[in-house]
A and B are shown apart, each in its own frame.
Chain A
Amino acid sequence: MQGGYKTLTACVNGRCNVEDVIKSLEDSNLRGLGGAGFPAGRKWRTLRQQPKPRLVAINIDEGEPGTFKDRYYLERDPHRFLEGTLIAAWAIEAEAVYLYLRDEYAGCRAMLTQELEKLRRDTPCIIPPIHLRRGAGAYICGEESAMIESIEGKRGMPRLRPPYVAQVGLFGRPTLEQNMETMHWVRDILEKGPEWFTSHGRHGRRGLRSFSVSGRVRKPGVYLAPAGITLRELIDEYCGGMLAGHELYGYFPGGASGGILPASLGDIPLDFDTLTPYGCFIGSAAIVVLSQHDSARKTALNAMRFFEDESCGQCTPCRVGTAKAVKLMEKATWDKPLLEELARAMEDASICGLGQAAPNPLRCAIKYFPAEFN
């Protein structure tokens, strides 16, 4: 337990005030790193205005294809995110903390169980009960409200908003739900100051992002890099360049759901919001690098098959739409106007982000890789 929960103890024992802590988070512009990018400080502030009892739920489902940053930090320094989580629980005066860990991370679960036991036996200060819950391998349970359903013992299906999770969340209580990595940075931001976090960044962007890089690069892995770094900079400076015999062809900037960008857009800043004009999003910053040996069309179909498999089946546009899209994309010729019609309804009419984002790779393949359709 390096760092010894000093910041948490200072908070709990009244040496820090909640307003300063939330202000620091707001000043750091720390955003939800699970993919949605909602400002953490604003979320905490919203929670404080909700009636008690309140709860904290931490999302360690990490199911977005190509994302492995949460596991990376969890395996190396579990107490850092636990301290952040307990500070959050203190700030919103939560009664209990729920950790939702994907079951594929069996090693992490054994380790986390042990570390939680150590923490319980030797608490640095008064802490709320921490419950560790196992996921069961469903992508949809990474969606915040489906995760809550799953923790409640129900089938993991997203809820309709409103009401928002911050108002009616776990067990019907106002709930602060955050991604694990978001909590990982809380301690550093409070100890080093928000300026430390915002001092990083490139191309007009501020902060740090943990990129999970996979695909045709020499050194795949998790890289902590400035927000706004471009793909080419990331590959050259962090990943040791492309694999021998491979040239950059395109990339998924945000896992399976964030879309696909071509090599010609390898110089745009990677961050929240910067990819919106291109029909993509950075999500959990899972970069999958494609080379001339890959096909955007095939990877888009692969992604759509994944969404078809993982659709929870609750709403028509996602359940039937992903299945129909797969059928249409398996054909020798894509009916682009029909696929676009379908994509539009999926984006507009699906209940949650799965169905809304599922058409992104399909649309990008058509938009940015026309040569593959000649």
Chain B
Amino acid sequence: MAANPKSISLSETVRFTLNGQAIEALAQETILQAAKRVGIEIPYLCYKDGYRADGNCRACLVEIKGERVLAPACCRKPSEGMEVWSDNERARHSQTMVLELLLSDMPGQGKSPYIPRSELDHWGRVEMWRGSVSPGSTVAAPFVWRCLNCLNMTPFPHPAHRTGRADFPHPALGQVIMPSPTAGYGCASVGG
């Protein structure tokens, strides 16, 4: 029976930086796995531990120095000396836009009706939390929630919901988006 290794030799690890922080990753580890291990939060949706990473949802995009486009953290393995950012303006822009695009197609525009503990809702909540606790910080630009159909913009957290509401406050709490009996759900402000 193989014994658990007491230590992992240096040659089996790679050193890279994530958001300026030096990280030592296992050779087979992805950027996302390494980030989770050291407690750096990167949103992700289509990835699940133990399953093949596909990199399709694009919520976990990170910027890798020297690369033309962003890369999915769930699929990329760090290489020695790689410089990665998951929290700079460029990476955050794409991460939040992906979440926003997906949420904007939810019937409740911002809350998934399909499962009680949806990952999409979770990350939407995290984005809003980031925006609320650290306004103007470099970590997260205040997250702007909006209806991409009617273009009503609702910066979140909406002033009305700033105080300790644990629940996920979706745009104007049903005032903007309302069910339409004829065409499923639409935007009340444009008569959806």
Binding site for B on A (CB under 8 A): 160, 314-317, 320-321, 324, 327-328, 331, 335, 338, 341-342, 344-345, 347-351, 356
Q: Are A328 and B57 in contact (CB under 8 A)?
A: no
In the complex, 27 of the A-B residue pairs with CB atoms within 8 angstroms, ordered by the A residue number, are A160-B55, A315-B56, A315-B57, A316-B57, A316-B58, A316-B59, A317-B58, A317-B97, A317-B98, A320-B104, A320-B105, A324-B104, A324-B148, A338-B148, A341-B93, A344-B94, A344-B97, A345-B101, A348-B70, A349-B61, A349-B94, A349-B98, A350-B58, A350-B69, A351-B55, A351-B56, A351-B58
A361 smallest CB distance to B (angstroms): 19
Contact with A along B115-159 (1 / 0, CB 8 A): 000000000000000000000000000000010110100000000
In angstroms, Cα B148 to Cα A328, docked, is 8
Closest 7 CB pairs of A and B: A345-B97, A349-B94, A320-B101, A349-B58, A345-B94, A316-B98, A324-B148
Chain B nearest CB from A360 CB (Å) reads 15
Q: Do B70 and A349 touch across chains, with their CB atoms under 8 A apart?
A: yes
Bound together, the chains give a CA A320 to CA B59 distance in angstroms of 13
Give complex CA distance A351, B56 in Å.
8
Main secondary structure of the interface of A (DSSP, over half): helix
Given contacts A315-B56, A320-B102, contact A348 B69 (CB under 8 A): yes
Which chain B residues have a beta carbon within 8 Å of chain A's beta carbons? 55-59, 61, 69-70, 72, 75, 90, 93-94, 97-98, 101-102, 104-105, 146, 148-149, 151
Contact between B98 and A345, CB atoms less than 8 A apart: yes
Assembled-state Cα–Cα distance A29/B43 (Å)? 43
Residues from chain B with Cβ under 8 Å of A350 in the complex? 58, 69
CA distance A315 to B25 in the complex (A): 27
In whole Å, how far is B109's beta carbon from the nearest beta carbon of chain A? 13
Query: A316, B101: Cβ atoms under 8 Å?
Result: yes
Cβ-closest chain B residue relative to A341: B97
Docked-complex contact A317 and B56, CB < 8 angstroms: no
What separation, in Å, do the CA atoms of A317 and B72 have in the docked complex?
A: 13
Assembly CA distance A354 to B97 (angstroms) = 18
Report the separation of the CA atoms of residues A67 and B105 in the bound assembly, to the nearest whole angstrom: 35
Min CB distance A204 to B, Å, is 25
Distance of A350 Cα from B72 Cα, bound (Å): 10
Distance (whole angstroms) from the CB of A199 to the closest CB of chain B: 33
Residues on A with beta carbons closer than 8 Å to the beta carbon of B70? 348-349
Residues on A with beta carbons closer than 8 Å to the beta carbon of B102:
316, 320
Q: How far is the CA of A327 from the CA of B102 in the complex (A)?
A: 15
A315 to B151, CA, bound (A): 23
A315–B97 CB distance below 8 A:
no
> Which of A316, A350, A351 gathers the greatest number of chain B CB atoms within 10 Å?
A316
Residue of A nearest to B71 (CB): A160
- B72: chain A residues within 8 A (beta carbon): 160
Among B58, B70, B94, chain A packs the most CB atoms within 10 A around the CB of B58
Chain A contacts for B94, CB-based, 8 A: 317, 344-345, 348-349
B151 to chain A, nearest CB (A): 5
CB <8 Å contact, B57 and A324: no
**A315 and B58 in contact, given A342-B97, A344-B93, A349-B70 (Cβ under 8 angstroms):** yes
- Residues in chain B near residue A342, CB distance under 8 A: 97
Q: Which residues of A contact B90 (CB under 8 A)?
A: 348
Looking across the interface, which residue of chain B has its beta carbon closest to that of A313?
B56
Residue from A324, A338, A345 with most neighbouring chain B CB atoms (10 Å): A345
- A345 closest partner in B (C-beta): B97
Q: How far apart are the CA atoms of A349 and B93 in the complex, in Å?
A: 10
